[in-house]
């Protein structure tokens, strides 16, 4: 069974600082990996996805993630945090058995301070 682990349920950064949100996956087959963002009182929106085409994936709002097979990681980064980045971020892995089922991590709440 696929699974993802997000280290750190809360991360706090200063505006302009580097954002690093960690995600490690467990999968018996090459995974498809996703990062979603959830703003308060809203549903989740797709930030980016890895589908084996390239190991460095660029997403919306300046975010990117690098797939590292040797470390089974898919960490999310942004060079310079903005106040509007404050949200909850979820890493997810898809089930290659089909049906587009996603297994989500427990989420990381990002706080951006002045």
Partner 1 sequence: NAGVTQTPKFQVLKTGQSMTLQCAQDMNHEYMSWYRQDPGMGLRLIHYSVGAGITDQGEVPNGYNVSRSTTEDFPLRLLSAAPSQTSVYFCASSYSTEYNSPLHFGNGTRLTVT
Question: What is the closest distance, in whole angstroms, from the C-beta atom of residue 57 to partner 1 in the complex?
Answer: 12
Residue 99, interface with partner 1 (CB under 8 A)? yes
Q: What is the DSSP letter of 101?
A: -
Residues 6+ apart with CB under 8 A from 9: 106, 107, 108, 109
State the Cα–Cα distance between residues 106 and 71, nearest whole angstrom.
20
Residue 71 structure tokens: 């470390």
Give the interface size with partner 1 as a residue count (CB under 8 A): 26
Residue 74, interface with partner 1 (CB under 8 A)? no
DSSP track, 80-93:
S--GGG-EEEEEEE
- Choose between 7 and 46: whose C-beta lies nearer to partner 1: 46
Site string for partner 1, 29-68 (x = CB under 8 A): ---x-x-x----xxxxxx--x-x-----------------
Residues near partner 1, by CB under 8 A: 9, 32, 34, 36, 41-46, 49, 51, 90, 94-96, 98-107
């Amino acid at each position: 069974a696929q699974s993802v682990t997000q280290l750190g349920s809360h991360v706090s950064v200063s505006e302009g600082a580097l954002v690093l949100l960690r995600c490690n996956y467990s999968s018996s087959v090459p995974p498809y990996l996703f990062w979603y963002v959830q703003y308060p009182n809203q549903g989740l929106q797709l930030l980016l996805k890895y589908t084996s085409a390239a190991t460095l994936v660029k997403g919306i709002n300046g975010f990117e993630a690098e797939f590292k097979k040797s470390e089974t990681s898919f960490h999310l980064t942004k060079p310079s945090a903005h106040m509007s980045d404050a949200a909850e971020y979820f890493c997810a892995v898809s089930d290659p058995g089909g049906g587009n089922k996603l297994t989500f991590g427990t989420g990381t709440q990002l706080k951006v301070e002045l």
